[in-house]
A and B are shown apart, each in its own frame.
Chain A
Amino acid sequence: MAWEPRSGEKIPQETPVFITALKERLGDPPDLVFTAAGEGITVAYLASLVEASELAGGVLDPLRRMGEGTEKFSWRNLLQSLPAREIRGRENLAEAVEDLLSGYALVHLAGSGTVYSFVVSRPFRWPPTQPQIERTIRGSRLSFPEALAEAVRLVRTRLRDASLRVEGFFLGRRTRTAIALFYLVDVADPGLVEEIRRRLSRIEIDGIVDSGYLEQLITDNRRSLFPLTQSTERPDKGVAAILEGRAAILVDGSPTAILVPATINELYQSSDDYYYGLFHGSFLRFFRVLGNLLAVALPGLYVALLGVNPELLPIKFALVVAQSRAGVALPLILEILLMEIIIEIFREGSLRLPTTIGQTIGVAAGVVLGIAGVEAGIVSSATLVVVVITAIASYSGPNYEVGITWRILRFGMLFAAIFLGLFGLAVFGLVILTHAANQNSFGVSYLAPWAPMRPRALFDTITRRPLAQNRRAGTYHPAEEDRLRLKEREEE
């Protein structure tokens, strides 16, 4: 377990035992490489973390040259022959594994109980890019690189734990796309990992071009409107998910990782909720959830209250809104439908505009068209206000896919409100909720932790859980629940 002291296992003297021990410790990941560099000399390293030229020039070549010579091999000779670099002697297997995870190459000599670690780590080759969708004020400015090797390196540098398992797959008969599955072997539910492997292994397709393909192929229900997996472009989010007992799947050529299982609750959480204090994080999250509710229900509510159940409104307010609609050529229903459709077209169009002018054109078009529409009597100012609030609120959620879901459902809500007012909204809302209640993501209820209810985990829904809460939420059935031990508690 995580809190137990590291095992005092010694370095095995025999080469096959050493190799087996390392493979066992790291779960035999695809980037763990063993190279023979002479008689009885084995070099072990994680290919995703080391610089190949450094390794060849600084470690492997000198070793091989020594092997070709007549002088008897010894550590002293070896160390003298290697270019000056950071070198550590290790007699403990756990320490050697930590070195390996930090980008060192381990040199093992058959019959010796010591390995030497040579730093050969390399810098990132991928130019750092910022997340495009999941932007945060605080926290990492880095997004996943498209090259899988770089992405693996990124995760490994952020999660230097021997329990991190990286499993490799190749999918696509023609593309042979490399896929990497990440999870913590002592935290993730073994059933979850087995299920992911099963779903990946049953895929037979000609090509995987993006992680979006994979997402649709491994999802629990392809006909669901809701995204049953979570996509992220943020490595910090990916690592946080792995620490929670979830799994991350990365696809070569795609900067978007897939996180499973996913619950609807996860899709409203932003990385920086946890980077701020409890109250700040909770405050932000609360308004994010409120924003999403507005994004889904506001146009429907507007139509229901104005068109079908105006008796609910205070008379003064109803009069003001009615006045603003005086002279508008279109009926309320057509007016709001037209505006919603225009906003959707705007949104899609502005995505393709060059980023430098996109914002300017978007704002200018919105303002100019809005004012022109009101002045021409096509839309009322009240409708314009509702549509603009809805459009802005729909960007409050960090997950783009679920945002699209709500945009689709917003039209459903609108029609329900047109025909049956508040009653229609309630029935349609319940149908949506029922659909969500039917969904599972890799064995976890999509509505968890609300349903099935996990009272402790409920603190991490509309509000944020205190970071000092030392247990993982049971939502994902983690094999290890403890995650934090503060020193003060230890002293107590």
Chain B
Amino acid sequence: MTDGRNHGSLAPEAIFALLFLALSGMEFLAAPYGAVRILGPSSYWAVVVGMILAMPVLVLARAWRRRFPGKNLRAVATAALGRPLGVIGNLLFLAVYLIWLVVAVRDAGDLVLAYLLDRTPLWVVVGFFLLGMLYVVANGLSTIFRLAEFVLIPALALRLLMSLVSLQGMEISHLFPAFSAPLLAYLRAGLDLFRTFLPLAALFLLGDLLPGPEGLFRNASLATGSATAILFLDALGAVGVFGADLAGELAWPGLAAIHHVSFPYLLVEQLGLLFLIVWLVTFFVAASFYLHLVAAGLTDAFPRLPYSWTTVGLALLVAFGGLILPNAAVVRTIFDGLRRFAMLPAAGYPFLVYFVAVLRGLGGRKDAA
């Protein structure tokens, strides 16, 4: 095992790969959930609003890279807010990712049980997930990035195909009226889907690994745009196939939309389950990335913590947290709670740190030198 730290900045393509997988790997299958309750048939626009709301994060990432080259959120927060506040702020920021990981792993476990292994206990699936993730994070971020780059092209192609396939059997009438709610409702629905774009805030934890500001902005925007396009198609498919009412009730509407498509002439009839494997791969990479981020963030804040044991401890915590949740309804409730009370503050925290740092005259050329 390594210390989890990597040296030298990442290639812009690597940022694209990891962000795309992180954006499309977490919760994508549940994309329109929540938004449909607010917007009804036109909930697919929530994806676009969510992306627009997420754009300031990208702009801040570029500004951050310019003003604080090589410095991550912890370093700047400690300097700007003072050590106690900075440490607490960062721990809370990491806690959001950790809770999100717990819920996402549980959700993915439920999904595997529902579609692939209905006679297997949940702990087996969660256990295998976490063992695999531990193996991935054991060698630090470079392995995660390589993994992300390797699976990017097949994942991107199959994910796009998956979304296009889900459009089969769509009732156009389900998608109308195209604007079915008041303007403010679109904002609310966009905020509901904003959680999907939270991986972008992870950029602030990468610090000296990030490429130059322009390369970072370009590739992060491209990844966000690509993921948004796929999410939009997913939402369109789910609402178009099932209608807004039913799509809002389904646990994984995106997958259900693909699952109902059948190709009788293929060897594998239910393409949805095969695509589920593709999604699992992207989820696995994304979840490993979060596990690494939290572990690296903790060892960064508390240098005495060994990275390897921190990852093991976190994995046990995720397993415990994931397994004590009684059912999918509770998972959804926690997701909702996260969305309402944690996601926006988490995304707002880097903004707060940045503005305090600017007000205190930190960063810039003097610091870079």
Cβ of A107 under 8 Å from chain B? no
Is the beta-carbon distance between A312 and B268 smaller than 8 angstroms? yes
Given contacts A420-B117, A430-B281, A453-B17, contact A445 B270 (CB under 8 A): no
CB-CB nearest in chain A for B269: A314
CB distance from B354 to the nearest CB of A (A): 30
CB-CB nearest in chain A for B262: A314
Is the beta-carbon distance between B117 and A450 smaller than 8 angstroms? no
Q: Return the contact of B116 from the options A423, A429, A453 (Cβ within 8 A).
A: A423
Is the beta-carbon distance between B149 and A450 smaller than 8 angstroms? yes
Is the beta-carbon distance between B146 and A317 smaller than 8 angstroms? no
Q: Given the complex, which residues of A lie within 8 Å of B280, measured CB to CB?
A: 423, 426
A441-460 residues with Cβ-Cβ distance < 8 A to B are: 445, 447, 450-453, 455, 458
CB-CB nearest in chain B for A428: B132
Q: Given the complex, which residues of B lie within 8 Å of A423, measured CB to CB?
A: 112, 116-117, 125, 128, 277, 280
Cβ of A112 under 8 Å from chain B? no
Is the beta-carbon distance between A427 and B14 smaller than 8 angstroms? no
Q: Return the contact of A431 from the options B11, B116, B117, B135 (Cβ within 8 A).
A: B135
CB-CB nearest in chain A for B272: A312
CB-CB nearest in chain A for B274: A312
Is the beta-carbon distance between B149 and A452 smaller than 8 angstroms? yes
Q: Given the complex, which residues of B lie within 8 Å of A431, measured CB to CB?
A: 132, 135
Cβ of B157 under 8 Å from chain A? no
CB distance from A243 to the nearest CB of B (A): 26
B6-56 residues with Cβ-Cβ distance < 8 A to A are: 11, 13-14, 17
Cβ of A433 under 8 Å from chain B? yes
Is the beta-carbon distance between A453 and B264 smaller than 8 angstroms? no
Report the Cα distance A308→B152, complex, angstroms: 28
Cβ of A434 under 8 Å from chain B? yes
Cβ of B151 under 8 Å from chain A? yes
Cβ of A422 under 8 Å from chain B? yes
Q: How many interface residues does B have (CB within 8 Å)?
A: 38
B86-139 residues with Cβ-Cβ distance < 8 A to A are: 112, 116-117, 120, 124-125, 128-129, 132, 135-136, 139
Is the beta-carbon distance between A427 and B146 smaller than 8 angstroms? no
Report the Cα distance A427→B145, complex, angstroms: 18
Cβ of B58 under 8 Å from chain A? no
CB-CB nearest in chain B for A305: B268
Q: Given the complex, which residues of A lie within 8 Å of B139, measured CB to CB?
A: 438
Cβ of A78 under 8 Å from chain B? no
Given contacts A420-B120, A437-B146, contact A309 B267 (CB under 8 A): no
Is the beta-carbon distance between B120 and A451 smaller than 8 angstroms? no
Q: Given the complex, which residues of B lie within 8 Å of A311, measured CB to CB?
A: 270, 273
Most buried by B among A311, A434, A437: A434
Is the beta-carbon distance between B132 and A422 smaller than 8 angstroms? no
Cβ of A56 under 8 Å from chain B? no
Is the beta-carbon distance between A430 and B152 smaller than 8 angstroms? no
CB-CB nearest in chain B for A308: B117
Report the Cα distance A305→B273, complex, angstroms: 11
Report the Cα distance A71→B66, complex, angstroms: 82
Is the beta-carbon distance between B13 and A430 smaller than 8 angstroms? no
**Digit string of A328-371 for contact with B (CB within 8 Å is 1, else 0)?**
00000000000000000000000000000000000000000000
Q: Given the complex, which residues of B lie within 8 Å of A429, measured CB to CB?
A: 281
> Do most interface residues of chain A lie in helix, strand or loop, or is the interface mixed?
helix
Q: How many interface residues does A have (CB within 8 Å)?
A: 33
Cβ of A300 under 8 Å from chain B? no
A400-441 residues with Cβ-Cβ distance < 8 A to B are: 420-427, 429-431, 433-435, 437-438
Is the beta-carbon distance between A312 and B269 smaller than 8 angstroms? yes
Q: Given the complex, which residues of A lie within 8 Å of B148, measured CB to CB?
A: 451
Cβ of A322 under 8 Å from chain B? no
Cβ of B143 under 8 Å from chain A? yes
CB-CB nearest in chain A for B154: A450
Report the Cα distance A445→B120, complex, angstroms: 37
**Digit string of B258-297 for contact with A (CB within 8 Å is 1, else 0)?**
0000001011111001100100110010000000000000
Q: Return the contact of B14 from the options A424, A425, A435, A453 (Cβ within 8 A).
A: A453
CB-CB nearest in chain A for B113: A423
Is the beta-carbon distance between B125 and A451 smaller than 8 angstroms? no
Cβ of B320 under 8 Å from chain A? no
Is the beta-carbon distance between B147 and A422 smaller than 8 angstroms? no
Given contacts A426-B281, A434-B136, contact A309 B273 (CB under 8 A): yes
Report the Cα distance A25→B129, complex, angstroms: 58
Most buried by B among A423, A438, A458: A423
Q: Return the contact of B146 from the options A308, A430, A447 (Cβ within 8 A).
A: A447
Report the Cα distance A308→B117, complex, angstroms: 8
Report the Cα distance A314→B149, complex, angstroms: 34
Q: Given the complex, which residues of A lie within 8 Å of B120, measured CB to CB?
A: 420
CB distance from B335 to the nearest CB of A (A): 22
Q: Given the complex, which residues of B lie within 8 Å of A453, measured CB to CB?
A: 11, 13-14, 17, 149, 152
CB distance from B69 to the nearest CB of A (A): 21
Q: Return the contact of B150 from the options A305, A420, A422, A433 (Cβ within 8 A).
A: A433
Is the beta-carbon distance between A452 and B267 smaller than 8 angstroms? no
Cβ of A313 under 8 Å from chain B? yes
Given contacts A431-B135, A433-B147, A437-B143, contact A317 B14 (CB under 8 A): no
CB distance from B120 to the nearest CB of A (A): 7
CB distance from A468 to the nearest CB of B (A): 24
Report the Cα distance A420→B277, complex, angstroms: 13
CB distance from B314 to the nearest CB of A (A): 18
CB distance from A320 to the nearest CB of B (A): 12
CB-CB nearest in chain A for B149: A451
A302-320 residues with Cβ-Cβ distance < 8 A to B are: 305, 308-309, 311-315, 317
B304-357 residues with Cβ-Cβ distance < 8 A to A are: none
Q: Given the complex, which residues of B lie within 8 Å of A312, measured CB to CB?
A: 268-270, 273-274
Q: Return the contact of A422 from the options B13, B14, B116 (Cβ within 8 A).
A: B116
Report the Cα distance A433→B282, complex, angstroms: 13
Q: Given the complex, which residues of A lie within 8 Å of B13, measured CB to CB?
A: 452-453, 455
Is the beta-carbon distance between B14 and A452 smaller than 8 angstroms? yes
Is the beta-carbon distance between A447 and B150 smaller than 8 angstroms? yes
Given A430-B147, A434-B147, list of 5 further CB < 8 A pairs?
Answer: A312-B268, A421-B117, A423-B280, A434-B136, A438-B143
Which A residues have a C-beta under 8 Å from some C-beta of B? Answer: 305, 308-309, 311-315, 317, 420-427, 429-431, 433-435, 437-438, 445, 447, 450-453, 455, 458
Ordered nearest first, which 7 A-B pairs have the shortest CB separation?
Answer: A451-B149, A451-B146, A437-B146, A314-B269, A453-B13, A451-B150, A453-B149
23 pairs across A/B with beta carbons < 8 Å? A312-B269, A313-B269, A314-B266, A314-B267, A314-B269, A420-B124, A420-B125, A422-B274, A426-B281, A429-B281, A430-B132, A431-B135, A434-B132, A434-B143, A435-B135, A438-B143, A447-B150, A451-B148, A452-B11, A453-B11, A453-B17, A455-B13, A458-B153
